[in-house]
Amino acid sequence: MDPDPLLTVTQVADRIRLTASSWRARVEEGTAPPPDDPDDERPADRRRPRWRRSTVDAWNAQRRARARAQADDRAP
């Protein structure tokens, strides 16, 4: 078993508790990491990009740390 598997959009969304459309939007905006496997061989409307689990976990940890820091800044 691969210790750092590639995840589909749906698997990423499930892992970080977002909807698939929210994840796609963040990737489009550039606020989420680009895919580790962009699947560029297919036409754009048929691509199935994938991300390494470690990429997703690192991004999510940074996102949560930023959210905590913002909450601390707002605390009285």
**Domain chopping of the chain, boundaries:** 6-74
Q: Which of 33, 38, 40, 42 lies closest to 50, judged by CA?
A: 38
pLDDT in tens, 24-34: 999 999 999 99
Single pTM value for the model:
0.81
**How many Cβ atoms sit within 10 Å of the Cβ of residue 29?**
8
Residue 47: DSSP 8-state:
-
Q: Which residue carries 């489009």 as its tokens?
A: 28
pLDDT in tens, 45-69: 888 999 999 999 999 999 989 888 8
